[in-house]
Amino acid sequence: QLQLVESGGGLVQPGGSLRLSCAASGFTLDDYHIGWFRQAPGKEREGVSCIDSSDGSTYYADSVKGRFTISRDNAKNAVYLQMNSLKPEDTAVYYCAAGTDIATLVPYEYDYWGHGTQVTVSS
């Protein structure tokens, strides 16, 4: 019963902010590397950010560095993605994923996936 559920997506104007949540059920999220990924229609799924389960190190795609922040709340068994200064090109379905091997922005390294939450950045 290993499940991840994303929430917090929605419609926001350019320059606005959203906070995405990834809640874990059936396992302790802190035992896993957690990644955020996104996929827009017609495009490949790309890594956005991830957090290492061992030391809490974080990693970001160049396209979001300085605008997005990943964080963990162990008490709530959840990981968050704070997205600021949003751009239209950030529009995509955002997924969280859990893995055990390495903290990476490569999708195939992750074992468990949520079903995604839509983020639309438009005026």
DSSP line for the chain = --EEEEE--EEE-TT--EEEEEEEESS-GGGSEEEEEEE-TTS--EEEEEE-TTT--EEE-TTTTTTEEEEEEGGGTEEEEEE-S--GGG-EEEEEEEESS---S-GGG--EE---EEEEE--
pLDDT tens digits, 79-115: 999 999 999 999 999 999 999 999 999 999 999 999 9
pLDDT tens digits, 59-69: 999 999 999 99
